[in-house]
C-alpha cells in the first residue's frame, strides 16, 4: 500500500493542495487556465472557432477575472461532435473510455489519457480520505463497473489510499449482504437509493446491518437529502459522505464531503475550476448565490471542456472548514436546470422516452412520466393515452357484439406495451411500468407541456 505519510499540517487530507492558502491556489489556477486555453486552441478546431468567435485569444487570460470572457460548452456540443470530435489528445494516447447516455440516445463519450487516469485516481484518493477511508478498510464498491464512471473511478481512488477493494458492482442484492457479513466490509460506495434498497433486503434476510463492521459510506451519483443521510447513517451504523462528479469532467471525484463536517462538498479546484452563473443570462454570480454550476476541467488532456454547463444547481462558499481543507465548498446539488432525471443512478431525459414511444406506439403527444418513491427505491410509470380511434373501434366492436375483435385490439395494444417496456429497458436501462389510459385523462398544460410528474420527496 502506498498510503502517504502525513505531516502535521495536513494530517487529515491526502494532498498538500487541499490545505494551501487562497493566493497560492489562485496562482495554480491561473497557470492551469493559461496552459489550458493554449492547449485547446492549438489542438482542437472546435475550440479555436469558439474562441475566435468570442474574440478571446489564448494570451488574453491574464487574471482569473478574464475567464468570464471565455465561451461556455454545452452537453449538446459533446453530442454534436460524437464520438471523438472534442478530444484534444491523439487516439494513441487515450487509454480508457467512459460514456453516459445523452439526450437522443447518443452517448456522451469521454476519453482519458494515462495522465487523466492518474488525475482521477488522485482526486478520488482525496475523496476517499475525506470520507475517512484508509489502508485498513475493506471497500465494497457497489457503483456499476462498465461505461459508467462510478465503479472504476472509486476503484482507482480506494486502491490508491491502500484500501482493499471488492469490485462487486451493482445488483446482486443478497450477495451484497453476504459479502458485508463474510468479508467484513468496512466501507460501502454506492448510490444512496441502492443502499436503501439493500437495507430492505437485509431486513428480509434477518440481518442487522448495524451490527456488521460497516463504518463509512461514500455515496453519490444522484441527489439525496439530509434526512436520507440520517436514515442511512442510522440503518447501517455508518457515517455517509456525499461525493459529486459527472462523466464529462472525469466521473466521481469533482467534489467530496469531509467526514468531519459533512456540510458541503470540497471542490478539487486545482483540477476542476468551479463557477456559478445565472442559468438564463450566463452572468457569473458571486459566492453564496445559488445558480448553475459551471466547471472547467483545465488539467485534463483527453477531452477538457471549457466552462462546461453542468445544469446542476448549487452555490459556492470559501468559508474556512474545520477539517483544515481550504478547497472551496459547493452546497449539495439541489436540482437541475433541465429536465434530466436520475433514477437509481441512471441518467436520462424524458425526450428519450418520447422517442421510444414515438417509434413503438406511433404517437407521442399524450404521455406522462410519473416518478415516485413509494418505498426505498424510485419507481417510474409511463402513462400513455390510447387514441380516440382505438376507443371508437372498441366501442363499435361492443355495439356490434363482436367480442373477438375487441379482444384482438386489446391483445395488440398489450403487445405494443410490452415492446415499449422492453425498449425502454434496453435503451435507457431502467425497468418502468407502462400503463395505458383512456383518451383525455392526462392533464393538458397551457404552455410548455409537462411530461414529468416527479412525486419524490424533495432533496
Ligand atoms: O454520476 C459520477 C458519479 C459516480 C458521481 C459516482 C458520484 C458517485 P454521470 O452519470 O455523468 O456521472 O451523472 C452526472 O449526476 O450532473 C448530477 O446531476 C448527478 N450527480 C452526481 N453526483 C451527485 C451528487 C456520475 N452527489 C450527474 N448529488 C450530475 C447530486 C449528483 N447529484
Residue located nearest, by CA, to atom 22 of ligand 1: 221
Question: How many of the other CB atoms lie within 10 Å of CB of 165?
Answer: 19
String of DSSP letters for 201-213: HHHHTT--GGGSS
CA 363–ligand 1 middle distance (angstroms): 32
Ligand 1 atom closest to the Cα of residue 265 is 26
pTM for this prediction: 0.87
Helix or strand (DSSP H, E) at 403: helix 403-427
Interaxial angle between packed helices 192-204 and 173-182, expressed in degrees from 0 to 180 and rounded to the nearest 10: 80
Cell of 128: 476517499
310 lines ligand 1 (CB under 6 A): yes
CA 219–ligand 1 middle distance (angstroms): 10
Residue located nearest, by CA, to atom 15 of ligand 1: 221
Asked if 13 and 129 count as a contact pair (C-beta separation under 8 A), the reply is yes
Domains delineated in the chain? 1-337 (3.40.50.12780), 341-454 (3.30.300.30)
**Per-residue confidence in pLDDT tens, the chain, 459 aa:** 344 544 334 457 999 999 999 999 999 999 999 999 999 999 999 999 999 999 999 999 999 999 999 999 999 999 899 999 999 999 999 999 999 865 556 789 999 999 999 999 999 999 999 999 999 999 999 999 999 999 999 999 999 999 999 999 999 999 999 999 999 999 999 999 889 889 999 999 999 999 999 999 999 998 888 888 999 999 999 999 999 999 999 999 999 999 999 999 999 999 999 999 999 999 999 999 999 999 999 999 999 999 999 999 999 999 999 999 999 999 999 888 988 899 988 888 887 888 888 777 766 567 899 999 998 889 999 999 887 888 888 888 888 888 788 888 888 888 888 999 999 998 888 899 999 898 888 887 665 567 899 999 876
Ligand 1 atom closest to the Cα of residue 345 is 1
Cell of 201: 433486503
CA distance 449 to 207: 46
Asked if 354 and 104 count as a contact pair (C-beta separation under 8 A), the reply is no
Cell of 276: 456559478
347 lines ligand 1 (CB under 6 A): yes
Cell of 16: 498538500
Residue located nearest, by CA, to atom 14 of ligand 1: 246
Residue located nearest, by CA, to atom 4 of ligand 1: 150
With 0-12 / 13-18 / 19 or more C-beta atoms within 10 angstroms meaning exposed / middle / buried, residue 447 is: exposed
Pairing of strands 379-385, 433-437: parallel
E-strand ranges in 125-166 read 138-141, 164-166
Q: State which of 98, 246, 314 you would mutate to test the pocket of ligand 1, scoring each by most atoms of that ligand within 8 A of its C-beta.
A: 246
157 lines ligand 1 (CB under 6 A): no
Asked if 217 and 195 count as a contact pair (C-beta separation under 8 A), the reply is yes
Residue located nearest, by CA, to atom 30 of ligand 1: 223
Q: State which of 153, 193, 220 you would mutate to test the pocket of ligand 1, scoring each by most atoms of that ligand within 8 A of its C-beta.
A: 220
143 lines ligand 1 (CB under 6 A): yes
DSSP state of 418: H
Ligand 1 atom closest to the Cα of residue 218 is 8
CA distance 370 to 452: 6
CA 222–ligand 1 middle distance (angstroms): 5
Ligand 1 atom closest to the Cα of residue 251 is 2
342 lines ligand 1 (CB under 6 A): yes
- Non-local (6+) Cβ contacts of 430 within 8 A are 343, 344, 346, 348, 380, 424
Residue located nearest, by CA, to atom 9 of ligand 1: 246
Amino acid at each position: 500500500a502506498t498510503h502517504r505519510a502525513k505531516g502535521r499540517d495536513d494530517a487529515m487530507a491526502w494532498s498538500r493542495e487541499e490545505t494551501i492558502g487562497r493566493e497560492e491556489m489562485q496562482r495554480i489556477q491561473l497557470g492551469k487556465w493559461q496552459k489550458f486555453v493554449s492547449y485547446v486552441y492549438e489542438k482542437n478546431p472546435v475550440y479555436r472557432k469558439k474562441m475566435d468567435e468570442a474574440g478571446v485569444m489564448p494570451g488574453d487570460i491574464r487574471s482569473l477575472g478574464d475567464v468570464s470572457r471565455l465561451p461556455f460548452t454545452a452537453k449538446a456540443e459533446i453530442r454534436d461532435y460524437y464520438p471523438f470530435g472534442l478530444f484534444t489528445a491523439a487516439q494513441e494516447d487515450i487509454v480508457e473510455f467512459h460514456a453516459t447516455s445523452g439526450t437522443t440516445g447518443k452517448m456522451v463519450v469521454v476519453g482519458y489519457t494515462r495522465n487523466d487516469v492518474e488525475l482521477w485516481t488522485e482526486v478520488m484518493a482525496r475523496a476517499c480520505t475525506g470520507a475517512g477511508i484508509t489502508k485498513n478498510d475493506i471497500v465494497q464498491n457497489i457503483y456499476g463497473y462498465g461505461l459508467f464512471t462510478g465503479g472504476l473511478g472509486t476503484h482507482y481512488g480506494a486502491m490508491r489510499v491502500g484500501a482493499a477493494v471488492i469490485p462487486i458492482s451493482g445488483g446482486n442484492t443478497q450477495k451484497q449482504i453476504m459479502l458485508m457479513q463474510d468479508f467484513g466490509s468496512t466501507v460501502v460506495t454506492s448510490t444512496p437509493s441502492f443502499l436503501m434498497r439493500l437495507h430492505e433486503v437485509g431486513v428480509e434476510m434477518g440481518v442487522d446491518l448495524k451490527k456488521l463492521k460497516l463504518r463509512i459510506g461514500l455515496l453519490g451519483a444522484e441527489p439525496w437529502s439530509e434526512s436520507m443521510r440520517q436514515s442511512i447513517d442510522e440503518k447501517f451504523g455508518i457515517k455517509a459522505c456525499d461525493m459529486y462528479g459527472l462523466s464529462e469532467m472525469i466521473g466521481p471525484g469533482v467534489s467530496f464531503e469531509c467526514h468531519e463536517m459533512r456540510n458541503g462538498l470540497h471542490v478539487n479546484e486545482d483540477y476542476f475550476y468551479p463557477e456559478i452563473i445565472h442559468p438564463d443570462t450566463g452572468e457569473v454570480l458571486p459566492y453564496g448565490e445559488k445558480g448553475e454550476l459551471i466547471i472547467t476541467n483545465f488539467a485534463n488532456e483527453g477531452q477538457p471542456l471549457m466552462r462546461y454547463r453542468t445544469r446542476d444547481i448549487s452555490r459556492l462558499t470559501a468559508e474556512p472548514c474545520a477539517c483544515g481543507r481550504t478547497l472551496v465548498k459547493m452546497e449539495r446539488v439541489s436540482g437541475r436546470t433541465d429536465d434530466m432525471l436520475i433514477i437509481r443512478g441512471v441518467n436520462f431525459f424524458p425526450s428519450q422516452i418520447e422517442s421510444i414511444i414515438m417509434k413503438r406506439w406511433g404517437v407521442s403527444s399524450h404521455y406522462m412520466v410519473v416518478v415516485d418513491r413509494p418505498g426505498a427505491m424510485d419507481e417510474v410509470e409511463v402513462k400513455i393515452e390510447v387514441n380516440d380511434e382505438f376507443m371508437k373501434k372498441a366501442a363499435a366492436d361492443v355495439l356490434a357484439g363482436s367480442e373477438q375483435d375487441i379482444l384482438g385490439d386489446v391483445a395488440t395494444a398489450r403487445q405494443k406495451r410490452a415492446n415499449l417496456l422492453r425498449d425502454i429497458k434496453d435503451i435507457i436501462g431502467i425497468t418502468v411500468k407502462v400503463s395505458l389510459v383512456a383518451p383525455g385523462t392526462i392533464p393538458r398544460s397551457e404552455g410548455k407541456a409537462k411530461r414529468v410528474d416527479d412525486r419524490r420527496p424533495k432533496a
